[in-house]
Amino acid sequence: MKLTEQTASVSREDALRGRQWILVDAAGCPLGRLAARVASMLRGKDRPDFTPNQDCGDFVVVVNAQKVELTGAKLEQKAYYRHSGYPGGIRKTTAGRILQSKPERLIEMAVRGMLPKNRLGRQLFTKLKVYRGSEHPHAAQAPAQVTVKRQG
């Protein structure tokens, strides 16, 4: 059986040329839904020229990180762990405490967990810009507003 068409693959130059800036308002959005949508946009999976091994996604600016929602009892029960490398050096922090002190970090951790765990994932993560309030320094790029659907 002979294939007449091959799957088109985007070159690096074409991927860099087609990038856009997208503005996402996190106010009232559940954290997981927001992170999944942002990770998809960073990766470029919503574009017709998606290529798995290329960075063909868009820049994403997330505003109002402090107004993101956690459903159920996640504020008190969802735990994040980190380790210093020393014996007994494990630290546990709840999602509620992170949301109070550094809400940007909460969204960044959720999105980073949904990206590939390799060089490409680290490169994609640099295109994510998260801000606590509604102010951001990327107005010159004229980002397109995208809404994340709430449940229902």
Does residue 14 belong to any structural domain of this protein? Answer: no
d(CA 68, CA 1): 52
Does residue 6 belong to any structural domain of this protein? Answer: no
Q: Which domain holds residue 140?
A: 19-146
Instruction: Give the per-residue pLDDT at 115.
Output: 97
Tokens for 8, please give them: 């088109």
Q: How confident is the model at residue 2 (pLDDT cuts 50, 70, 90)?
A: low
Does residue 4 belong to any structural domain of this protein? Answer: no
Tokens for 109, please give them: 């951790």
Does residue 75 belong to any structural domain of this protein? Answer: yes
**Domain count of the fold of the chain:** 1
Does residue 85 belong to any structural domain of this protein? Answer: yes
Does residue 8 belong to any structural domain of this protein? Answer: no
Which residue, 38, 24, 25, is CA-closest to 111?
38
Does residue 130 belong to any structural domain of this protein? Answer: yes
Instruction: Give the per-residue pLDDT at 48.
Output: 87
Model confidence over 55-113: pLDDT tens digits? 999 999 999 999 999 999 999 999 999 999 999 999 999 999 999 999 999 999 999 99
Model confidence over 4-46: pLDDT tens digits? 667 677 788 887 888 999 999 999 999 999 999 999 999 999 9
Does residue 13 belong to any structural domain of this protein? Answer: no
For residue 81, the domain's CATH number is: 3.90.1180.10
In sequence order, which residues have a C-beta less than 8 Å from that of residue 98 and are 6 or more positions away?
80, 105, 106
Which residue, 116, 141, 143, is CA-closest to 55?
116
Tell me the CA distances in angstroms from 28 to 73, 74, 114, one per residue in order: 16, 15, 21
